Structures are given as C-alpha cells and as structure tokens.
Amino acid sequence: MLHLGVFGILTSMKLKVLSITAVAVLFVSLLPQSAGAAPTQKMKRYTVTMTKAHLPTAPNNGTDDYRCFLLNPKVTEDSIIRAIQFIPEKKNYVHHAIIFRTTDADLPEAIAADKNGKGWPCFGGTGLGAGLSSFISSPWLSSWAPGRGKDVSPPGYGTPFKKGERFVLQVHYNLLAASGAKLETDKSKIVMEVVPAKGATVKQLHVELFPAPVELACPAGVTGLLCDRRQSLIDLAARTSTTSAFESTGINFLCGQDPFKPAASLISRCDKVMNSSFNVIAAAPHMHLLGRTLKLTLNPGQSTEKIILDVTNYNFDDQSSTVLKNPIAVKAGETIRVECTFDPTLRQKIPQLKALAPRYVTWGEGSSDEMCLGVIAATKE
C-alpha cells in the first residue's frame, strides 16, 4: 500500500513550501497528526523495535509481503507526538510502512493476532475490527516511504498519544527489490519524540486520503492471459488477498464508475464533495512505478478553482510531502478532485517489472499493481 505508501504525512525531510493558496481533503481515514508545545517543555524519546525478526515471504508466488506487528512504546504519560520516525533495517526491500492507531476495542484482537511478536499478514489495513478493513479506511498515525525521513509536525501542531497506548506497524516488503539476492530477516523500529500533553498548546491534525480507480489495459501489441481484467483480478486476489480485489471494485463504485465494467484509461480521476470544513496544512502524492503525474484540485472547473498539489514529474523514490506556506480553508459542500496519469509501457522497461507477465493493471497493494492516492493533513475549523 502506500507505497506509500502512501502513505509519513508531515516530514521535516525535503519539505517543500508551496505558495499556492489551495488544498482540500477527501472522505476516508482518520489519521490524527498534530503538535506544538510550550518551548519550555522537555522532549522525551521512546524507541520501540519489532519484537521478533521477520523473514519476508509472499503468498502464492507473489512478490509482496504485508505484515502487521503490534508494538508498545510504553509511553508513561499522556503526550503529544512532536516527531515520529520509522527506521527500516532492510532498506532495499522495505517498500513502505504505516503506523496505525489501535483502538481499545481492537486491542484484544490485535494481541491475539500478533502471536507474541510474530505478527500477521495484513494486505489492506490492519484487518482488525468488524467490517471490511482496508488501506483506505484504516486510521493512520504516520507513514514512511522512499524519500521520507523523520515525520516532524510543524510548529503549533501535534498528535495526541495516550499513556499506555499501542499501535500497529504495517510493513510492506517488496520482494522484487531483492533482485535475486538472498532475503534476510528484518527487525525495523520506530522512534517517537514527545512532550507532555499537560500544558501543551496544539492544533490537532488529521489525515484524509483521496483515492481514484486505476484501470490500465496492456499497451498496444502486448498480450497475455493477465491482460484480461477478470484474470488479472483473480491473480491479484491470489497473490495478495481477496480484500485487495474488493478494494479495486469499491473505489470504482465510490468514484462513480461501473465497478464491474470500468473503462480502461491512462488517466485516473475521482471527485469528492466535502462533508465538513477544515484547513489544509500539507499534501503528498502516492503512486507506484507507472505513475507520471498527480494533481489535487479544489472546486475543479469553477470560478473558485484552486490547485492544491501539482506533481508534474512523479518520483517514486521521493514521496515527501509539501507543507503549505499558508493554511487553506475548505468549506463543507466544496469538491476535491484527485487526478493521476500513468504510463503502462514502463512495465516493459523497468527492471523490477519487465520480467513479470504482462497484465491489466488495477488498484492494488503489490509493487506491480498501482495506486492513485492524494494525501492531505488538515485541521478542523
């Protein structure tokens, strides 16, 4: 997923200042993020490492391993996260990581699934809780992807974190990146810098995700069994999970396309009407290896149209977020559009992909699948 990851929303590494006065937020995900505190408060650091080393393996001859681990940073008092950093041990094939919040209701299930540190397979979201958990609807805390370092909140913002609270770390291992080398175990870690919540003055940030469907047919002259969309989805479910295939269908439905017979296109687009008001602080793009451009637009085609984020030369190895020079106010009832473009001919050129069978590419969490995802960090009015 995230290739994300999507997936660290506010980062101090390679932060770019955007002077454009626009931005917005979509419809799913609660990712709180915020933090500013009195300058006299003392910073405290918590480090938590995966309990047991994990040897990545992919199901059914796939090339991706999504693994979740329940971690306890053992925070001793109600705090405000000032910075959080995922540090991969095996940088060559850790594709991305997402830190999810764990609710009190889901904690018993997480403890059982974790099996004392072995973790559990988790394509999509954490897989915890009732209903269909997914990459889009799971509550995020932070994320890491290539090009991101420490996730630092801007002055005046922060993420509350309760005493004794735990979180779920999801790591995506991209076995394609191992390039034939012997896979080794990974034991990554997270470092949090916090200040006491008592006496802190902060504005709370939350993250909104803007997905659009991906429907990329095999290029002209390229043929194969998986160039058939139905066969491609069956393969996607086999090498990742049935949840992944449902997500592809669900995103088409949410974005007003025929979920069963969508039209193939090099452009992915989705409009969403906002049901609440907020101020946008930062935005980031997320696609996979075929992505070319990503744009977030407020009120497209209207006199009030504003460009929120415009990535004209997407670089998978630099998914750093853009912090706005001035927060942008978005009102309930306004529309946010995410739009991506792709080049499926890159599958025959990129070393990691050209050895794979040609396929009809849909939204999916594997490195050989694709995503169109805009990420926004915002505060409520």
Asked if pLDDT for residue 111 goes beyond 90, the answer is: yes
Q: What is the pLDDT of residue 137?
A: 56
Quote the tokens at residue 224: 């194969």
DSSP conformation class of 60: G
Please give the pLDDT value at position 135. Answer: 56
Take residue 169 and report the two structure tokens written for it. Answer: 């770390």
Over residues 333-352, mean pLDDT: 95
Query: What's the pLDDT score for residue 203?
Result: 80
Give tens-digit pLDDT for 220-274: 999 999 999 999 999 998 888 777 778 888 899 999 999 989 999 999 999 999 9
Bridge pairing between strands 16-18 and 322-330: parallel
For residue 157, the number of C-alpha atoms closer than 13 Å in the C-beta half-sphere is 25
Is-above-0.85 flag for pTM? no
| CB of 49 closer than 8 Å to CB of 213 | no
With H, G, I as helix, E, B as strand and everything else as coil, classify residue 107. helix
CATH fold group of domain 16-380: Jelly Rolls (2.60.120)
Which residue ranges make up each domain of the chain?
A: 16-380
Query: Which residues, including other chains, have CB under 8 Å from residue 315's CB and lie 6 or more apart?
Result: 147
DSSP state of 127: -
Give per-residue pLDDT as tens, 200-213. 887 877 778 899 99
